[in-house]
Structure 1
Amino acid sequence: MSQEVNIGANGFHDDIESHDYDGIKEQNNPAPLWITLLFLVTIGFSLFYTIHYFGYPGNGRGQDGEYAASVAAYEASQAELKEQNQGNKPELAMNDMVAKGKELYTKNACMACHGQSGEGNAIGPNLTDKFWINGCSEADIMKVISEGKPTKGMTPYKAMMSEDEIKYVANYILQELVGSSPANPKDPQGEECK
Structure 2
Amino acid sequence: MEENLKDQKMPEVDPLTNDKFVPEHEFDGIRELANNPPWWLTFIFIFSILFAYVYLAKYHFFSDGKVGLNEYEAELYAVQMQEEAAAGVEAVAAEGGGGISIETVKVDYSVPLTAQTDIDKGAKVFATNCAVCHLAEGQGLVGPNLTDEYWIHGGSFENIMTVINNGVIEKGMIAWKGQISDAQIHQVASFITTLQGTNPPNPKAPQGEKYVPAAE
TM-score computed with the length of structure 1 as normaliser: 0.52
Residue identity opposite 2:204 in structure 1: K
User: Which residue in 2 is equivalent to 1:101?
Assistant: 122
Tell me which stretches of 4 or more aligned residues in structure 1 moved more than 6 Å.
89-92
**Cα distance in 1, alignment partners of residues 126 and 203 from structure 2:** 18
SS in structure 1 at match of 2:202: coil
Q: Determine whether 1:164 maps to 2:154.
A: no
User: Which residue in 2 is equivalent to 1:140?
Assistant: 159
**1:107 CA displacement:** 2.1
**Cα distance in 2, alignment partners of residues 186 and 128 from structure 1:** 9
Residue identity opposite 1:157 in structure 2: W
Q: Provide structure 2 residue ranges, at least 5 long, that are not aligned to the other structure.
A: 1-100
Task: Identify which of 94, 103, 115 aligns with 2:135.
Answer: 115
Q: Determine whether 1:88 maps to 2:105.
A: yes
**Cα distance in 1, alignment partners of residues 126 and 103 from structure 2:** 23
Residue identity opposite 1:100 in structure 2: K
**Cα distance in 2, alignment partners of residues 129 and 86 from structure 1:** 37
**Cα distance in 2, alignment partners of residues 87 and 120 from structure 1:** 39
User: Which residue in 2 is equivalent to 1:185?
Assistant: 203
Q: Provide structure 1 residue ranges, at least 5 long, that are not aligned to the other structure.
A: 1-83
**1:90 CA displacement:** 7.9
Q: What is the aligned residue count?
A: 109
- Kindly tell me: are residues 93 and 86 of structure 1, through their superposed partners in 2, closer, same or farther at Cα, counting changes over 3 Å? farther
- Kindly tell me: are residues 90 and 152 of structure 1, through their superposed partners in 2, closer, same or farther at Cα, counting changes over 3 Å? closer
Identity of aligned residues (%): 41
Residue identity opposite 1:170 in structure 2: A
**Cα distance in 2, alignment partners of residues 88 and 173 from structure 1:** 25
Q: Determine whether 1:151 maps to 2:174.
A: no
Residue identity opposite 1:120 in structure 2: G
Deviation per CA, 1:49-85: give whole Å up to 9, x if none: xxxxxxxxxxxxxxxxxxxxxxxxxxxxxxxxxxx54
Cα RMSD of the aligned pairs, angstroms, is 2.2
**1:160 CA displacement:** 1.2
**1:88 CA displacement:** 3.4
